[in-house]
Structure 1
Amino acid sequence: MELQSILSRRVLESLADTPPLNVDSIKYVAGVDAAYSGGIMYGVAVLLDYRTKFVVRETVVSKKPAIPYIPGLLAFREAPAYISALKRLGVKPDIIFVDGHGLSHPRAFGIATHVGLVLDTPSIGVAKKRLYGEEIVKDNKIYIYAHNHVVGEIIVHKGKKLYVSIGYRIRLEDAVKITKQMLTPQYKLPLPTALADQRSKRIARKMKQK
């Protein structure tokens, strides 16, 4: 937890220096998620072409979680599997989507920030529930304010709130723009994490039947 706090300070201090993202340069985006069966976690990474939204590659990693589920410490439980699965893709994505939070976290170091920092890749956290931060309305938008910074924005998709937060090396406006680009009528979450969620659950079900 102390390490999270130290690293988060560095990330927060770098926010002002984070350059705008050249969206036209984005070629690949990846999403990660995990499901469980028999005490084993199955972490899945799905790589998509940003423009066509077609799946290019996908990988799965099975690991025994190092710790039980503890709110605010999800990174220590699931990030190792996500990082391994992303490395196995063989292609470095331009953006990583994580089903979870980034800077909108009690120590400003959620799983999206953790994964992005380790892989030195821009990352975005998108969650269905708020974990931390104050909601502030400005210019008809709802922002998440925490640690003396605006760290996220709430958007609505399919009638439900999505909590988009800065993960690593990305500006909030870019994170929101890219997230909206990855939303589809079929899924509640952005396509990369929705597919990773779908595939991880399918694998967990198969393992349970064995």
Structure 2
Amino acid sequence: MEWITRLMEALGSPGAGLAVALENVFPPVPSEVILPLAGFTAGQGKISLIAAILWTTAGSVVGALVLYGLGSWLGLKRMRRIADKLPFVTVSDVDKADEWFDKHGTKAVFVGRMVPVVRSLISIPAGVSGMPIAKFTLYTAAGSLVWNTALILAGYALGENYELVDRYLGWVSTAVLAALAIAVVWFVVSRVKARRS
């Protein structure tokens, strides 16, 4: 928190954008903390509210593009080779995921920008599936703009109680992580049963 505050004091709104970009790539501090803090700082008149929204959205796009680049570098062929060597995963799993992303990728990228944990991860399959970079950037920017604006305005409105945003959204993050863990366990168990039969 102190590091983010110092970053915004030193760089202003671009500091908030830099923090969000870093959070997208290596999430040391979730955006549920950064964005309301940016709103609180704007409420104190230290940074512009509009600039905070624009810079954090730009930061979200930059961070997402780094992970998109990683996915693009991996590519479908590499992912298939990796899947072939992993236990419980098959090449057809990768193909099915790629087909699903071709059909629903734009929605997944837009909505995924507003879901904790998924927000960062969704960029990798977008790159793997070869989603056009212009489309990816557009939907990432749109989804990030909605998410960032909501959390910055919440921090702006709550003032010194801006930490309440993280407290309540922390439950959402926990629920998403639990759902992902359950999905992984279900996947592994079903694969083990299939191999035994």
TM-score normalised to the size of structure 2? 0.27
**Which has the larger share of helix?**
2
Which of the pair has more CA radius of gyration? 2
